[in-house]
Amino acid sequence: MKRIAIIGSGISGLSAAFTLEERRRAGVPVEYVVFESGPRLGGVLVTDRVDGCLVEAGPDSFLTEKPWAADLCRRVGLADQLIGSNDADRKTYILVKGKLIVIPDGLMFMVPTKILPTVFSPLFSLSTKLHMAREWFHPPGKAEADETVASMVERHYGPEMVDRLADPLLSGVYGGEAAQLSVRAVLPRFAEMEAKHGSLGRAMLAARRKMPAATPARPLFTSLKDGMQQLVDAVVARLSAAALRTSTPVQSIQPQTGGWLVSAGYVSDQFDAVIVATSAQAAAALLQSASASLASELGAIQYTSSITVNLGYDQQVRSSLPPGFGFLVPRSEGKQMLAATFVHNKFPHRAPEDRALLRCFVGGARNEQVLQAPDEEILRVVRAELRQIIGLTAEPLFTRVYKWKGAMAQYGVGHLERLERIDRLRQQLPGLALAGNGYRGIGVPDCVRSGSASASDVLVFLGLAEAEPPAKVSQSA
Ligand SMILES: Cc1cc2nc3c(=O)[nH]c(=O)nc-3n(C[C@H](O)[C@H](O)[C@H](O)COP(=O)(O)OP(=O)(O)OC[C@H]3O[C@@H](n4cnc5c(N)ncnc54)[C@H](O)[C@@H]3O)c2cc1C
């Protein structure tokens, strides 16, 4: 019987555990132990029920385009629980000079693919619209080195596009800044499109033309009827209860002849392999004595913190709010809020018909220190900004503030080269696998994929599975 330790029970660690559990049930001689420092399993996937509303403390959904999270849902029997976002009402606003302006139709991420809606949109100045027209003739060519998202977007569409779209969109997904994040790690498809087509607009249209005409439109986001916690609960229910150790922080992992020694509290336990499914920062601390160089590379992957502020309101507020999924706030607007989601529109059944549910984001690279502020102060700021932005003055029926310290990995310029170095150093420590949002995608689907892949790698290393040919995957969140 081979023993595998999994450190961290976020969705990355749980996917690794479930992959091992599937193999164990199929007769593979393997057992696993999941170590979790906190009192509950699931990491940042937490769903609460308040006043008839389903409140997501962490992620509320995942990109439908990336199949791995939905696949895991199916593997744990939740196929009939998958739901799509209410895209009939999909409309997102950008705050520009204090006013909400809708993102024009045909803008894919930040690439315009329809001329008229963009030409008539007040979101962009004439100068940006001229940039967009010139972009059509951008010559193909691969940038010599990695660069920031801001630098690439500015080369194609000018600085206003960075401020009004690239930066707020990335704040929403990564809690990060376009001026820091690596285009090759965060938007690899953009780098590929530029190399092949030059113009991102022409590349998007070419990709769309290749799609079969009858492809049914899928919702942009997928989630679960009872919230993201439903995935955690379903996975945990299928794992062996004796293998789950909550409130058990691992202090160190040490390679030993023929295995690994995992030390948690006063207890040390021997394993044949270890999957470290924590943040890269926590992995660095765990691996410090095993390999200082690996720890140093892992520790160089930066993280930002995030706060979600959920506010419930009555029917009167609901009918006074704008339609659509919510709004993004560019840095130039000088607000603390990064974005707000109108949950009752995005996933209607998450709030009863007589309730409005708002989910606001604060923090990120822009405002790390806000994590120190008491909840009341954060609520005061969010409510003041909601009053300024959408004229919302009503008292909320309930509020919930969730703070996530160092939860969002930031893929800086050179991230992919760093991953190659990490991989080389990791291979010097046989039986060690890394999973989590610090490496090849921050979104839930990528974390699921990384957890499952780490489990498969470890099984191959232990001679319990055949190596599979590598799949081509996108690295963006
Ligand atoms: C507020 C917020 C909103 C988000 N929204 C979305 C979204 O809508 N869609 C989407 O796709 N993604 C979203 N994300 C990103 C995504 O949810 C995360 O990247 C992903 O869930 C991370 O999973 P993980 O398992 O890698 O890490 P985590 O969930 O952080 O889990 C790591 C676990 O390791 C444990 N741990 C750490 N050190 C130790 C140790 N020494 N010993 C034992 N245990 C340890 C921690 O306690 C934690 O439970 C969001 C993230 C946040 C924070």
Type of residue found at 186: V
- Give the total residue count for the chain: 477
Per-residue model confidence (pLDDT) at position 474: 43
Nearest of 35, 60, 66 to residue 46 by alpha carbon: 60
Whole-number Cα distances in Å, 245 to 37, 76, 239, 338, 392: 8, 21, 12, 36, 45
Q: DSSP for 152-181, please give it.
A: HHHHHH-HHHIIIIIHHHHHHHHS--TTTB
Per-residue model confidence (pLDDT) at position 171: 87
Please tell me the residue having the least CA distance from ligand 1 atom 52.
58
Nearest of 146, 159, 160 to residue 419 by alpha carbon: 146
Q: Do 385 and 337 contact (CB within 8 A), yes or no?
A: yes
CA gyration radius, the chain: 23
Distance, in Å, from the CA atom of 442 to the CA atom of 423, rounded to the nearest integer, reads: 18
Per-residue model confidence (pLDDT) at position 213: 67
Please tell me the residue having the least CA distance from ligand 1 atom 12.
443
Distance, in Å, from the CA atom of 197 to the CA atom of 137, rounded to the nearest integer, reads: 9
**For residue 402, which atom of ligand 1 is closest to its CA?**
1
Would you say the C-alpha torsion 248, 251, 256, 260 has a positive or negative sign? positive
Q: Is the CB of 5 under 6 A from ligand 1?
A: no
Q: Is the CB of 277 under 6 A from ligand 1?
A: yes
Using DSSP, state whether 6 is helix, strand or coil: strand
Per-residue model confidence (pLDDT) at position 310: 98
Distance, in Å, from the CA atom of 156 to the CA atom of 80, rounded to the nearest integer, reads: 43
Q: Are strands 92-96 and 326-328 parallel, antiparallel or unpaired?
A: parallel
How many Å lie between the centroid of ligand 1 and the Cα of residue 239? 19
Topology classification of domain 106-210 = protoporphyrinogen ix oxidase, domain 3 (1.10.3110)
Per-residue model confidence (pLDDT) at position 476: 41
Alpha helices for 278-314 (secondary structure H) = 280-287, 292-299
Cα torsion 52, 448, 437, 363 to 10°: value is: -10
Please tell me the residue having the least CA distance from ligand 1 atom 34.
8
Q: Do 112 and 118 contact (CB within 8 A), yes or no?
A: yes
Instruction: Enumerate the CATH 3.90.660.20 domain ranges in the chain, comma separated.
Output: 302-409
Question: Which residues in the chain show pLDDT less than 70?
Answer: 213-216, 469-477
Please tell me the residue having the least CA distance from ligand 1 atom 35.
8
What's the CATH code, domain 2-43+229-300+412-461?
3.50.50.60
Q: Is the CB of 434 under 6 A from ligand 1?
A: no
Q: Is the CB of 406 under 6 A from ligand 1?
A: no
93: left (phi over 0), alpha (psi -120 to 50) or beta: beta
Contacts by 196-199, CB closer than 8 A, 24 or more apart:
196/140, 197/140, 198/137, 198/138, 198/139, 198/140, 198/141, 199/135, 199/136, 199/137, 199/138, 199/156
Q: Is the CB of 407 under 6 A from ligand 1?
A: yes
Q: Which of 224, 278, 343, 454 to mutate to test the pocket of ligand 1 (most atoms within 8 A of CB)?
A: 278
How many Å lie between the centroid of ligand 1 and the Cα of residue 416? 21
How many Å lie between the centroid of ligand 1 and the Cα of residue 233? 15
Per-residue model confidence (pLDDT) at position 368: 86
Instruction: Enumerate the CATH 1.10.3110.10 domain ranges in the chain, comma separated.
Output: 106-210
Per-residue model confidence (pLDDT) at position 470: 61
Q: Is the CB of 222 under 6 A from ligand 1?
A: no
Q: Is the CB of 9 under 6 A from ligand 1?
A: yes
Per-residue model confidence (pLDDT) at position 471: 58
Using DSSP, state whether 457 is helix, strand or coil: helix
Q: Which of 34, 35, 444 to mutate to test the pocket of ligand 1 (most atoms within 8 A of CB)?
A: 444
Residue whose entry in the numeric block shows the structure tokens 């003041």: 384
Per-residue pLDDT tens over the stretch 54-109: 999 999 999 999 999 999 999 999 999 999 999 888 899 999 999 999 999 888 88
Please tell me the residue having the least CA distance from ligand 1 atom 6.
59
Per-residue model confidence (pLDDT) at position 118: 87
How many Å lie between the centroid of ligand 1 and the Cα of residue 269? 25
pTM score over 0.75: yes
User: How remote is the C-alpha of 409 from its chain's centroid?
Assistant: 9
Residue whose entry in the numeric block shows the structure tokens 């120190």: 372
Q: Is the CB of 228 under 6 A from ligand 1?
A: no
Q: Is the CB of 249 under 6 A from ligand 1?
A: yes
How many Å lie between the centroid of ligand 1 and the Cα of residue 452? 15
What token pair was written down for 122?
A: 């007040």
**For residue 407, which atom of ligand 1 is closest to its CA?**
53
Type of residue found at 181: L
**For residue 57, which atom of ligand 1 is closest to its CA?**
1
Neighbours of 247 (CB within 10 A): 12
What's the CATH code, domain 302-409?
3.90.660.20
User: How remote is the C-alpha of 44 from its chain's centroid?
Assistant: 11
Residue whose entry in the numeric block shows the structure tokens 């006063």: 266
Distance, in Å, from the CA atom of 233 to the CA atom of 206, rounded to the nearest integer, reads: 42
Q: How far apart are the first and last CA of the chain?
A: 36
